[in-house]
Structure 1
Amino acid sequence: MNQQEGLKHASVIDMHAHIVLAETMGAAGDYGPFLGKYPDNTPYFQIGKTYRLNGVKYEGSPFMDVDCRLEKMAESGIDYQVLSPNPLTYFHFIPAQEAIRFCRIHNDAVARLVGNNSQKLGAFAALPMQDPKAASEELKRAVNELNLMGAGFGTDMPLRLHDPAMDIVYETAAELGVPLYIHPSPAGIDGPEGDPVLRHFELDIVAGFTCQETLAIGSLVYGGVLERHENLKICISHGGGAVAMTRYRMAQAARKRPWSPASLRETGNFEAMLKRLWVDTHIGHPKGIELLSETFGADHLVYGTNFAGWDMPDNLDSHALPGFLADNARKLLCRT
């Protein structure tokens, strides 16, 4: 059974599930990534010389052990997962050649993993987004040669998401008919440091991700990306950040602010553009599907868990999900 057959028969499809691959350790040279342990046996995950994620167990967990992942998926009622790159290893700010090498190693490794478990797993490719031409070429290779389902990358990179230089990546994804899954990463891992306020209490993750996703959608819509690429499929993590709560202000800006393009000034045009985007439902709100449906449309929602992550619900039970979420995922992933 190939990936598409597994996808076809799945009742629950998880679109928000990250992977950490042993083959990629040290694949970005001095930037890592590196696994290690402190003298008290506490694990850490290191990027470069300064950033360490402490206390998260990758080895022997669903992040790295495929048998453990499949077992936990079965316990949670998840039939199929689409694996995406670990946000700590987007490496969008390191030298391009280092990033290109890392992405090729990552994509080859994840293709082997899902190829051996195709009835349960698919995957998105990692891309070297600091070099859009190289990212476009790697996306073609990943889809056409490795049978990956699209690509996953970060909200923050040297170029803004609406920069015309990014169009080559969007054009490639649209031509291939595959989605792009956009997810934040903590600022300052391998690039410019973020707001110092966010360094306290892990607010860069707890609250900063929501801000990044909201800004990403503003960039994509206000910057005309969706208008320039009518067939482009983009999915944003965590319900699209705070857009469902701020859409009124965002729409008012589209209609009234002097920088807004003419195409968004008519009432309803901004809201229509939001319904071109896809979002996953991993927001932890009991009325999340209802809330997100009003903003993005029920037909553009896909199920997401951040599987095995710190914010995955303690008692994840995916059996009672509405069936349309799996149908939506099939539509998003189907090459058009």
Structure 2
Amino acid sequence: MLVPVAFSGSALMRKTLDSTTDGWLCGLAGVLIFSGSLPATRLAVLGLDPLFITGARATIAGVLGALLLLALRAARPARAEVGPLVIVALGVVVGFPLLTALALQHVSSAHAIVFVGLLPLATAVFGVLRGGERPQAAFWLFSAAGSAAVVAFAMRHGIDASPLGDALMLAAIVVCGLGYAEGARLSRRLGGWQVICWALVISLPVMAPLAWWLWPASLAAVGATSWWGLAYVSLFSMLIGFVFWYRGLALGGIAGVGQLQLLQPLFGFVLAALLLHETVPPAMIAVTAVVIACVAGARRFGRATAASPSRNGTQTQRA
């Protein structure tokens, strides 16, 4: 009788470890995709209105999401899940894209990328408030240290450059952190790709008319690079990236996996330098090195426990 019990416990532990590893790998894939968002948005705003970009990217991704839901015959969300889906839509479909597009009219993408270092802390806070997670105390020290490095850089190099741009980026971080945490909580029941697809579909009645109303008066005046930027944020930043990201947060924990975004500034700086030929000051690299060190510490102490697990101790997810 003891052998089966021991084997069962060992198998359960291996399954848990595999699930956690899968979550971190999916989260890393999402971060790599999101790293191109701000440089691509910077390219898009060179020839397109920020409001049009916000509406167009959500409309393109929403149509694709609707087709995906129909093709795979996904079940409709329960009535209790509609409210949280609206929060996701307001946070990551409307709020973050609009606020960052507006901010990038005042600051460079390399400058805006630094603020992404605050997103893991915002996501962790909302993970506690909305997801019921309880990371260890040491986790908050590492997370706060990484965020403090970003804030110190912004106060020295950002506020004098454009207070409005920095304020818009900070607002974008707050609404995005809420959208991430709420989406991850829903992903445990709906599944990651269903959450972002339904959030996009919910936003279509507003975003599609907005894109149509703000359609450029002259397409000839819009350069090819702006269209390529719009294409990237529509397909990858608005849809594909979230499929990986929400799955990663759901499997590995909102607070823990969310710290992977401390790596996003590094990837973003490289893209900004290669694609936009923007100058990356040594101070930006130093800040990035600090937050990368902090993510390692946060990873160690970021194991979170849900406040209200199911009866059998597992999370359920729809196919």
Q: TM-score, normalised by structure 1?
A: 0.25
Q: Choose between structure 1 and 2: higher strand proportion.
A: 1
Larger Rg: 2
Q: Choose between structure 1 and 2: higher helix proportion.
A: 2
